[in-house]
């Protein structure tokens, strides 16, 4: 199989390295608007083939996979062209600029029997896979709340706010591990420097009295990447800034003891042991590429497909409307 | 001067110890509904005088100060009786159950020339005083955002939700260091176990494009007590779980470089040195008692007075309305 | 039973509080050279009886227990007087100034049928008891090494070096959990300010190829209280500066895989899960007082007795000789 | 200039990447005993030239620089051949197996006017350069002690003990920042698995009442890389496991207040502010290569030269003798 990468910014070299490293990929073609960047990449990866125009990629029959790693507002047009040309596509997060675009692409791929892989990389990390395993095994119990913080002093994106930049990671993890339907979204925050918000808080209301919250911030002096999942049996912490012990499982929780009628219900807490499971250390992107290629060979949808991309975009879209109206409640259509 | 403490639960012994330790206090009277608790307290502090009824306190002329340390729904009635009896009052946080009650008490004290001290203890810690000093000196610049997290696995209160229990600490700190007027409040969260929310997120919109957020949670397996203040010049971290280095000042921030017109504005970040100032270690409650007694002697309002109590209660009240309506925007009357 | 406390410095109030709180103790007598200190203590604990002279304590028949909490160079004389007067004794750490003194006291108590309790407080903490339990259960395997660090910026003692001040804690824990015989001691360090060393490193060689090391320092800007125990099966960390998760058990270790003869032996490491057991939170001193009184009632030696005190003093004594001779190897007599 | 790298194990790719990236290097030749490894490296760096035998390197006139990255017992023979062939040499740490070998090489290079660079990489990190700057500026005052810990669960080397593997890093930093003469060495530790020690503690006595200690361990479940430097004015912490804030400067220390004669001297401690300076982030190896090439061009010795290599080897050699004799004091010849 041959793959083509369009756009080689910050993430591009990782994509090229992993597609080159996959046994099923014979050749990797690369295109970028910036000739200097292309030259730099060619020096780093001499075995790649540099193409002159985007259209060369769509025309070349040998190319089965097109990797789209350009700014989000160009995702739809490129993805559509690639699908129209009969290519399977890999799209960086966030999938599209609108849920309408996502639906159009998903439908097109469905009709053409092509695969869409949305690069929700975190789903392929050892930590998130372990979270999923722990929740699916019912060890945590029913999920009460999901709380995520992703803040640091970082590059402002010139085309989107901090929600579109950082929250896709956390939203994709939430959907993967929770497997519940969102009902409504509220977002609050501030744009201190220009039109795009640099601080945002997103609340997501779920069916069955479950609640999630996301704090994203480009202007924090400290770097925090942390998630809490509270369950009826146990509680879970994912701290991605830890060198080891990224996942901790607390045998702690809340117990309700009824004493003569509901009015005397007593809420107590219980603290027990904690353990930190060993995690698989394989690079997430390597596993992502494997999953994409396997899904094509096995003619099935990949783990992180267009439907997953759509779910995340729906929340981003709703959050953007909400934050502009200071926390207006926006319903989510399932 | 003589003082009387009504209610000796968890915080009571600290109050008694600090009033006993103050040079201006000759005698401390104590009352509690629970005779066994009173006996225990008497054994611990043999020099106190146990009174039989609340009314004994209001009648006794020698008592100038009444300390109210009972559940919040009883604050108003007791505080009013004490003011009516001509006593200066010390009220535990949160000040009252409604802003209407707070206004009534403030007006009454004003008319009678009596002092109200609201026990926003954190204001008297070395850490918060240092925060205030750093912000007032303009070292941080204009404040862009204030972010607070206070979560752990803790006792559920039987009469209020997690907002009324934990947020008063953080709201009082915010008002003290920011010195800005709030415009509106949004709150989201969940009540997983009974009527009272155990997880809550409160957004406060301020004048002049400033924003604050508070995360409070009784059901977190990890204990976090942390505040971030982002300024135009520097950024500040207060981590109360650190044994030392509770306050860190980051010479980091955001810079806007305009290049030929606003459309080419470039947002960049800058990372510099960090320093952690030495903090005064005197117990906050000791300084609170001193401030209250000095304010009475000097016939001035104390640092944390009824007006401060009111401001906090206004936000709590608005947050409670908002959280019941899934994040409805509630305006604050200044 | 009645107890008498001689010496009420830093640790004295904790001793008085815990003896007062024990159900079997009817009265606590107190003596100190400093009248002002005695007055302060009397105000804090009105139910104690202040005695005029040390001899009053030895004469009073009702006093069965004498608690010796004075500088170490006075331990022997007071302990001997108390034993001669037929009292059971509680001696603060380090037990005595020399191993000869310790042996004399131990023999005397044996002859008189009296109990000696050496206040190795850490033995009664939840953390150390859990360490002991884990090691005794063979979960850790055979112990390979024991490593301890106890450093901070602390008060210089005016009568002993940092070894005699800080190492007794760690040595007592080591003897308790390891239960092995030491063979020889080496100590190195420096006295930067006056005759007494402020930095010291103590190596203890044990039978069966086991090794322990202790780092103590009064002049470190950071406070560290940490122990590592390496075993053939698992490894154990005790970090006393953690608020929670003080004990961590690592399912990690070393494996030797022989490949065609010893010369091809391959040493590999293995990393597995970690867990942090819940610890009992009862105050160590409370349990120590209980153990002492139970041991008297049951006519048996207490858990931390004169033999344990002697073992620790032997290492301290050897370390002091060694450090003065820049690491000379000093054999330990068992 | 052309360079040749002999040995491309773990560190080899980093060396090749940095020599390739230096502007003054036109070509990089590579040799390794293992053809499969050479093939892998050639695929990774297609622009390198693979040579068939070591001798090809020594014969090729265009090669001015030979980089020796093989096990330490082969350093001397290769380095001597390279110097005899008129090449400047870069030798990985530890420099040689004996101080005698180091002296021979240093003399030979001196006679031939060739440069020896010993790869004490840490000297080129932002953190160590900042430490040096702080100490040279006298901000820390006179150095009282230097304490280093480098422990983790790591690969056992098959040819040397943990001292030769890990301590060169810390010893090179110590010599660089302290700039003092060592007098004697004591080492203690244990070999739990085979002949080579896996835990070691090294004490170094310096002139002027200064003392250093090094703890190295291949069998610790936790990874610690930390140094403390105590000075008469301030204290310094280097924690290499921190993502940011690797260097902390504590305005804390010890003060001696004399009160009527030496016998009443009072030692007190003082705690002040802490700050963490911003560090330069350039890769250490890049700066090392630059320094080596500059030193050749400027016909001067590089910063980390054969003399520095010799100093470190002297301590390693002495420590090995000492540890085999359970802490025997070994004098260092300066």
* Per-domain residue ranges of chain A: 2-120+285-300, 123-282+314-331
A265 pLDDT exceeds 70?
Answer: no
Could you give the CA distance from residue B208 to residue C210 in angstroms, rounded to a whole number? 66
Closest C-chain CA to A281: C271
CATH fold for the domain made of D123-281+314-331 = Dihydrodipicolinate Reductase; domain 2 (3.30.360)
Instruction: Give the containing element (helix H, strand E) for D30.
Output: strand D27-31
Neighbours of B202 (CB within 10 A): 28
Of A223, A241, A243, Cβ closest to residue D223:
A243
* Rounded to 5°, angle at Cα D62 from D60 and D64: 100
A161 pLDDT exceeds 80?
Answer: yes
The pLDDT score that the predictor gives to residue B64 is 98
Instruction: Give the containing element (helix H, strand E) for A238.
Output: strand A235-239
State phi, psi for A252 to the nearest 5 degrees. Answer: -125, 155
Could you give the CA distance from residue D282 to residue D285 in angstroms, rounded to a whole number? 9
Question: What tokens does C92 get?
Answer: 């603060």
CATH class of A123-282+314-331: alpha beta
The pLDDT score that the predictor gives to residue C82 is 98
Per the prediction, chain C carries an average pLDDT of 94
Tens-digit pLDDT profile for residues D105-132? 999 999 999 999 999 999 999 999 999 9
Could you give the CA distance from residue D188 to residue C111 in angstroms, rounded to a whole number? 41
Among residues C308, C293, C323, C332, which one has the least CA distance to residue C93? Answer: C308
Cross-chain residue pair A153–B329, CB shorter than 8 Å: no
Superfamily of domain A2-120+285-300: NAD(P)-binding Rossmann-like Domain (3.40.50.720)
A241 part of contact set with chain D, CB < 8 Å: yes
Tens-digit pLDDT profile for residues C213-238? 999 999 999 999 999 999 999 999 99
The pLDDT score that the predictor gives to residue D94 is 97
Residue A218 three-state SS: coil
Determine if the peptide bond prior to D94 is cis (ω within 30°). Answer: yes
Closest A-chain CA to C280: A272
The mean per-residue pLDDT over the stretch C2-29 comes to: 96
Could you give the CA distance from residue D329 to residue D182 in angstroms, rounded to a whole number? 12
B238 vs chain D: nearest CA distance in angstroms? 15
Cross-chain residue pair A153–B269, CB shorter than 8 Å: yes
The mean per-residue pLDDT over the stretch D288-301 comes to: 98
The mean per-residue pLDDT over the stretch A239-247 comes to: 94
Closest B-chain CA to C17: B44
The mean per-residue pLDDT over the stretch C9-38 comes to: 95
B47 part of contact set with chain D, CB < 8 Å: no
Mutate to test the interface with D, among C210, C257, C325, C327 (most CBs of D within 10 A): C327
Spell out, as residue ranges, where chain B has pLDDT lower than 50. none
Tens-digit pLDDT profile for residues A69-105? 999 999 999 999 999 999 999 999 999 999 999 999 9
Q: Give DSSP secondary structure letters for C62-102.
A: TEEEEEE-S-GGGHHHHHHHHHHTT-EEEEESS--SSHHHH
Question: What tokens does C58 get?
Answer: 């030895």
Task: Assign domain D2-120+285-303 to its CATH architecture.
Answer: 3-Layer(aba) Sandwich (3.40)
A246 vs chain D: nearest CA distance in angstroms? 14
The pLDDT score that the predictor gives to residue B260 is 55
The pLDDT score that the predictor gives to residue A264 is 53
Tens-digit pLDDT profile for residues B75-114? 999 999 999 999 999 999 999 999 999 999 999 999 999 9
Tens-digit pLDDT profile for residues A164-214? 999 999 999 999 999 899 999 999 999 998 889 999 999 999 998 999 999
C113 part of contact set with chain D, CB < 8 Å: no
List the 201-220 stretch of A: residues with Cβ below 8 A of B: 201, 203, 205, 209-211, 213, 215, 217-220
CA count, 13 A, side-chain hemisphere, C241: 14
CA count, 13 A, side-chain hemisphere, C142: 10
The mean per-residue pLDDT over the stretch C46-63 comes to: 95
Mutate to test the interface with A, among B267, B273, B329 (most CBs of A within 10 A): B267
Superfamily of domain B2-120+285-304: NAD(P)-binding Rossmann-like Domain (3.40.50.720)
C260 pLDDT exceeds 60?
Answer: no
A60 pLDDT exceeds 60?
Answer: yes
Question: What tokens does B55 get?
Answer: 């009314």
A257 pLDDT exceeds 90?
Answer: no
The pLDDT score that the predictor gives to residue C261 is 54
The mean per-residue pLDDT over the stretch D34-57 comes to: 93
Q: What contacts 24+ positions apart, CB below 8 Å, involve A202-208? A: A202/A163, A202/A167, A202/A315, A202/A319, A202/A322, A203/B188, A203/B189, A203/B201, A203/B327, A204/A174, A204/A315, A205/B188, A205/B326, A206/A178, A206/A180, A206/A181, A206/A182, A207/A180, A207/A181, A207/A183, A208/A142, A208/A180
Q: Name subunits touching A (3+ CB pairs < 8 A).
A: B, C, D
| Spatial contact of D245 and B274, defined as CB atoms under 8 Å apart | yes
Of C267, C271, C329, Cβ closest to residue D194:
C267
Question: What tokens does D205 get?
Answer: 């006595």
State phi, psi for B268 to the nearest 5 degrees. Answer: -125, 155
Neighbours of B74 (CB within 10 A): 14
Could you give the CA distance from residue C101 to residue C75 in angstroms, rounded to a whole number? 9
C241 part of contact set with chain B, CB < 8 Å: yes
Q: pTM of the predicted model, to two decimals?
A: 0.94
Determine if the peptide bond prior to D222 is cis (ω within 30°). Answer: no
The mean per-residue pLDDT over the stretch A18-27 comes to: 96
C123 vs chain D: nearest CA distance in angstroms? 24
Task: Assign domain C2-121+285-303 to its CATH architecture.
Answer: 3-Layer(aba) Sandwich (3.40)
Of D184, D209, D252, Cβ closest to residue C221:
D252
Give A277's contacts in chain C (Cβ within 8 Å): 273
Give B147's contacts in chain A (Cβ within 8 Å): 199, 215, 217, 220
State phi, psi for B215 to the nearest 5 degrees. Answer: -115, 120
Mutate to test the interface with A, among D48, D220, D243, D246 (most CBs of A within 10 A): D243
Closest C-chain CA to B45: C44
C220 vs chain D: nearest CA distance in angstroms? 7
**Where residue D259 falls among pLDDT bands split at 50, 70, 90?**
low
Cross-chain residue pair C194–D144, CB shorter than 8 Å: no
Tens-digit pLDDT profile for residues C265-317? 567 788 899 999 999 999 999 999 999 999 999 999 999 999 999 999 999 99
- Cα D208 to chain centroid distance, Å, stands at 24
A92 Ramachandran zone, left/alpha/beta (phi>0; psi -120 to 50) = beta
Give A144's contacts (C-beta < 8 A, 6+ positions apart): A210, A211, A230, A231, A232, B190, B192, B199, B219
Give A193's contacts in chain B (Cβ within 8 Å): 254, 256, 267
The pLDDT score that the predictor gives to residue D261 is 54
Closest A-chain CA to C245: A274
The pLDDT score that the predictor gives to residue A98 is 97
Cross-chain residue pair B273–D276, CB shorter than 8 Å: yes
Cross-chain residue pair A274–C271, CB shorter than 8 Å: no
Could you give the CA distance from residue D213 to residue D167 in angstroms, rounded to a whole number? 11
Could you give the CA distance from residue B59 to residue B55 in angstroms, rounded to a whole number? 6
Q: Please report, rounded to a whole number, the percentage of residues in chain D having pLDDT higher than 70.
A: 97
The pLDDT score that the predictor gives to residue C269 is 83
Torsion of CA D168, D170, D173, D175, to 10 degrees: -70
B249 vs chain D: nearest CA distance in angstroms? 9
Among residues C163, C154, C220, which one has the least CA distance to residue C195? Answer: C163
Q: Name subunits touching C (3+ CB pairs < 8 A).
A: A, B, D
The pLDDT score that the predictor gives to residue C276 is 97
Among residues C9, C159, C160, which one has the least CA distance to residue C70? Answer: C9
Give A241's contacts in chain D (Cβ within 8 Å): 243
C183 part of contact set with chain D, CB < 8 Å: no
D46 vs chain A: nearest CA distance in angstroms? 7
The pLDDT score that the predictor gives to residue B258 is 66
List the 143-172 stretch of B: residues with Cβ below 8 A of A: 144-145, 147, 153-156
Residue B204 three-state SS: strand
List the 258-317 stretch of D: residues with Cβ below 8 A of C: 265, 267-269, 271, 274
Cross-chain residue pair D275–B275, CB shorter than 8 Å: yes
Of C272, C276, C278, Cβ closest to residue A278:
C272
């Amino acid at each position: 199989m041959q793959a083509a990468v369009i756009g080689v910014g910050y993430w591009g070299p990782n994509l090229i390295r992993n597609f080159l490293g996959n046994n099923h990929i014979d050749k990797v073609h690369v295109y970028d608007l910036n000739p200097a960047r292309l030259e730099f990449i060619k020096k780093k990866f001499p075995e790649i083939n540099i193409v002159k125009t985007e259209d060369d990629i769509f025309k070349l029959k040998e190319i089965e996979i097109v990797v789209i790693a350009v700014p989000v507002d160009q995702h739809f047009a490129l993805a559509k062209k690639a699908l129209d040309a009969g290519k399977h596509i890999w799209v960086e997060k966030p999938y599209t600029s609108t849920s309408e675009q996502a639906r159009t692409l998903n439908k097109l791929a469905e009709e053409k029997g092509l695969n869409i892989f949305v690069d929700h990389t975190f789903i392929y990390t050892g930590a998130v896979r372990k979270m999923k395993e722990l929740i699916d095994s019912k060890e945590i119990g029913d999920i009460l709340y999901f709380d995520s913080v992703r803040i640091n002093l970082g590059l402002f994106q010139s085309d989107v706010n901090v929600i579109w930049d950082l929250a896709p990671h956390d939203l994709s993890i939430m959907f993967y591990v929770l497997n519940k339907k969102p009902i409504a979204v509220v977002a609050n925050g501030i744009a201190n420097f220009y039109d795009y918000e640099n601080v945002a808080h997103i609340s997501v209301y779920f069916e069955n009295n479950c609640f999630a919250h996301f704090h994203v911030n480009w202007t924090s002096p400290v770097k925090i990447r942390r998630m809490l999942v509270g369950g009826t049996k146990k509680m879970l912490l994912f701290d991605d800034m830890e060198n080891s012990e990224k996942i901790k499982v607390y045998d702690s929780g809340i117990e309700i003891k009824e004493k003569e009628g509901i009015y005397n219900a007593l809420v107590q807490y219980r603290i027990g042991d904690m353990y930190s499971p060993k995690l698989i250390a394989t690079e997430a992107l390597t596993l992502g590429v494997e999953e994409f290629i396997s899904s094509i060979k096995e003619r099935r949808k990949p783990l992180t497909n267009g439907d997953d991309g759509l779910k995340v975009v729906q929340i981003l879209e709703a959050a953007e409307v909400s934050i502009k109206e200071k926390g207006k409640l926006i319903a989510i259509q399932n």
